A and B are shown apart, each in its own frame.
Chain A
Amino acid sequence: MTRWSDLKEIIIATAAALLLVALSALLASSGLVAAPPPSDNRWLAEKFLTLTYNAERKALWAASPEVVTSILWDYRGIDTVYETSVFFFAIIGALMLVRSYKPARGEKIEGRGMSVIARTVTRITLVAIPVVAASIALHGHLTPGGGFQGGSVFAVATLLAIVALGTGFLVNRGWSKGRLLGFRTLGLVIIVFVAIAVPIIGLMDGGRAYLVQNQEKPWSGYGAGYIYSVLGLDILYSGTLLFLNLAEFLAVSAGLTLAFLVMGLPREKLYKGGDVE
């Protein structure tokens, strides 16, 4: 390639870059790209924004500053419970594919994983990712995030471990099919328990309350509270939202980990079980 063609390419690239800058400046100045937000929200958004954390109008509030979590676990709580059960059955479906593989007690799985470089850095990040996941799940009722998001982040850590350190890394440390299924089911049981706790309290009290009810309503005075005072500190836990987020975190992280673990099983294990020919 000659010098001239190099120069030509550089000129073309510079011209393209300048054109891009000029176009973006034009778009930004004419208000096409960075359009200012509308001065009025749509009525539904306005309802949610003004009601979720409005302590002066507690009739329809969710006691959580995080609007999305309030919608997910309070205003349309039953829908989310249903979604969680759909996720549960999806994982069951994935497990059906390898149903004949029965891990023996104390069985070890050999796995080489990747090189020393990848293994070392994975071990470092393996500590950090669950911390981030837990903070996303525990702050789900305060900041954007929640149980599902936290669980998905946690599953990234296990996926990394499976890919970089080998499936044996988790399996040999006791992350068995049965235990993960147990944690998943425990999460779901907690969700169901929290969902029916308030109605049961209402029934025992002779009143009436809704499924997945979070805060007290004027016509149904049963709620899960929202402030926990300890050592002179008032901690906002937003009623059932914190518990539902934690249970969802448990269910999703265990479920996704289970799916990844099953996918990462060595082929000879699946041969022996008769799932793969």
Chain B
Amino acid sequence: MIAGLVDAILYYLGAALLLIGGVLDVIAAIGMNRFRNFYLRLHAATVGAIGGGFYPLLGLGMIALTMHGLGETRLYIAGIAFTTALFLALTAPVGSHALAQGAHRGRVVLPEPVVVNKLLEDEEKQGR
């Protein structure tokens, strides 16, 4: 009874996460298309990486846990999905951060419109 309840909760939570992931991916795609400059688009890309990658992987792991027909394999699938989700959550923001930092430090793109740019002031003070 309890096991069935846990399974049901895991399954529907997983399905909901998968659905959220799909929706967020669409939103990220629209953002990539519609945002004006590099830094804003980076925001959309991160929505795609975390919302469209992290959440569906979590959901996939949860759904896999309920698939008892797979035997022990479901544990492997869930474990791999959760581990991948963890590392995605760790590395995706760093990727966008490195891109933004590289673009800013190399003066490839400057944020625009901009009210105040403390990073630029700091970098010019340090003479980079």
Contacts and interface: CB of A to CB of B under 8 A. Distances in A.
Interface of A: 13, 17, 114-115, 117-118, 121-122, 124-125, 128, 164
Interface in B9-44: 26, 30
24 contacts: A13-B30, A17-B26, A114-B98, A114-B101, A115-B97, A115-B98, A115-B101, A117-B93, A117-B94, A117-B97, A118-B94, A118-B97, A118-B98, A118-B101, A121-B90, A121-B91, A121-B94, A122-B94, A124-B90, A125-B87, A125-B90, A125-B91, A128-B87, A164-B98
A120 to B, nearest CB: 8
Nearest to A120: B94
Classify the secondary structure of A's interface with B: helix
B22 to A, nearest CB: 11
Given A115-B97, A125-B90, 20 more contacts: A13-B30, A17-B26, A114-B98, A114-B101, A115-B98, A115-B101, A117-B94, A117-B97, A118-B94, A118-B97, A118-B98, A118-B101, A121-B90, A121-B91, A121-B94, A122-B94, A124-B90, A125-B91, A128-B87, A164-B98
B3 to A, nearest CB: 31
A78 B22 CA distance: 49
A128 B97 CA distance: 21
In the A-B complex, list the 6 residue pairs whose CB atoms are closest, starting with the nearest. Answer: A121-B94, A117-B97, A118-B98, A118-B94, A121-B90, A115-B101
A263 to B, nearest CB: 18
A168 B26 CA distance: 42
Contacts of A122: 94
